[in-house]
Amino acid sequence: MNLKIATTVTMVGAVWLSGCSFMSPTDSTAPVATAILKPTANNTATGTITFTQVENKVHIEGNIAGLSPGPHGFHIHEKGDCSAADGASAGGHFNPTNKAHGANSGTERHAGDLGNLVADSDGKAVVKIEIDGVTTTPGEANSIVGRGLIVHADADDFKTQPTGNSGKRVACGAIDAAVKS
């Protein structure tokens, strides 16, 4: 009788553990996108940024190097085209809802308004932002996939329309959907 109970407990434990591995954060099915930032002409900024859809928000994380110390405007732009030497081919801020420019924490803002990132004295910035109003699901009207990611030379003032007076574009990267294997 004890052997039968032990076998049942072992089987239940094995089923439970297999369910836990399915829930592992490394086995995420959340839509992910990535941007590889490259410097615009006469600049040195580079980096990799990952966008992960978590329910109705997008988590933005990564690292950027080669910046001047201090704050830099950080925005998603209309087009994932970084072919122009100055990054102008990425177009204006991504704004599918036709709102005024503002802070990433406000309700009145472009969907692409990500606020400022701050580079340390070595020119490195760690990005960790969460935004709503966009998705990493390709084909949706508010999808950021296929858009451009821009780092600007100056801080975003969150009020000057339509750009936040954040200066020239020092890095540009296309936001691409991650390839699932």
Q: Which of 75, 109, 147, 156 is catalytic?
A: 75
Q: Which of 72, 101, 109, 147 is catalytic?
A: 101
Q: Which of 27, 59, 72, 77 is catalytic?
A: 77
Q: Which of 72, 109, 147, 169 is catalytic?
A: 169
Could you confirm whether 93 is annotated as catalytic? yes
Give, in degrees to the nearest 5, the angle at Cα 131 between 31 and 153.
110
Q: Which of 72, 109, 152, 156 is catalytic?
A: 152
**One-letter amino acid of 158:** F
Q: How far is CA 41 from CA 28, 62, 83, 88, 134, in A?
A: 37, 22, 11, 11, 29
Nearest to 64 by CA among 114, 110, 28: 114
Could you confirm whether 86 is annotated as catalytic? no
Could you confirm whether 110 is annotated as catalytic? yes
Could you confirm whether 152 is annotated as catalytic? yes
Could you confirm whether 101 is annotated as catalytic? yes
Nearest to 127 by CA among 27, 51, 54: 51
Could you confirm whether 75 is annotated as catalytic? yes
Q: Which of 109, 110, 147, 156 is catalytic?
A: 110
Q: Which of 72, 109, 113, 156 is catalytic?
A: 113
Q: Indicate which residues carry an active-site annotation.
A: 75, 77, 93, 101, 110, 113, 152, 169
